Amino acid sequence: MSAALIAFAFAAAQPARSERSERSAQSRQSPQDGVGLHVSGRDIVEADGTSFVMRGVSHPYAWKKDQRRSFADIKELGANSVRVVLTSDVGADEVAGVISTCKRHRLICVLENHDTTGYGDTDGAITLDEAADYWTGLKRVLAGQERYVVVNIGNEPYGNSDTSGWAAATSGAIRKLRDAGLKHLIMVDGPNWGQDWSGIMRGNAASVLDSDPLRNIVFSVHMYGAYGTAAKVTDYYDAFRSAGLPLVVGEFGWKHTDGDVDEDTIINEAQSRGIGYLGWSWSGNSGGVEYLDTATGFDPGRLTEWGRRLFNGANGIRATSKEATVYGGSPAD
């Protein structure tokens, strides 16, 4: 499997919010305090209030279930998080096993439904509402895991066609999860194959956060060819900082079909600003984007050039990752 095909994109300018709006946004506190991973202003924090900055990589679990050592190998390379690709046919018992494996290896588990990828541009892609049904169907294995699990509702849930519905669809999916009693930190991807080059997510993020009664949402931008210069990267980061809203880079590479990527600025500026990042991807890419593998053949001893940059480079995972305090210095049960 490969990362989602990314269309050519252009960065969109977004007006800064007023100082009053910024102060208001930064002062927000989540009613999730003490429950599990949650947002506080621009930051993700654990139940005990300790800041948690994601440092990890995506693992194509749904397509590569035989690669059982991947979680251990990703942890050994220094990650504190792993973004796990799921599809709607991965059932509750299997998801419970994934969560248990993440916990055994002391990783925060970001679970994502990949079936939404490119909705509107990809035949067979499901809606965010359908993805929400998948998550509510997993309630029995998700409940009680709020300290260990982040729910990424749907991967790249819109392509480039008719993205105007993104905000309403995202808010509706969030409400469905909350109505079902799920209290987890929810990660939402932007439109435009995740790159949000049109500024739809950036412009509507505050209203989407306000639509959540738990105010526990982190916004995920995917950075590929639309982020080929330092200015495009920092402009996007700056917009969320000015708005006082939480942001992670939920996917990025070092190059892609739509152009070069300024991965150094993505990584270095994320570190200086306390923004989490999750590289795409561990291994197993195909269809001409094998260059996005960080490990050749799932072998941690054969990191690619991209893998060496992500894991071992300046401000990379090994140098900046801090294990979640929920693990308390001993393996989780």
Query: Can 156 be counted among the known catalytic residues?
Result: yes
Q: Which two tokens stand for residue 192?
A: 């435009």
Rounded distance between C-alpha atoms, residue 275 and residue 246, angstroms = 8
Q: Which two tokens stand for residue 204?
A: 């509507």
- Give the length of the chain: 333
Query: Can 94 be counted among the known catalytic residues?
Result: no
Catalytic residue among 156, 263, 269, 323: 156
Report which residue type is found at 159.
Answer: G
According to DSSP, residue 125 is labeled P
Q: Which residues, including other chains, have CB under 8 Å from residue 2's CB and lie 6 or more apart? A: 285, 286, 287, 288, 289, 292
Catalytic residue among 251, 263, 269, 323: 251
Q: How far is residue 138 CA from its own chain's centroid?
A: 19
Residues tagged active-site: 156, 251
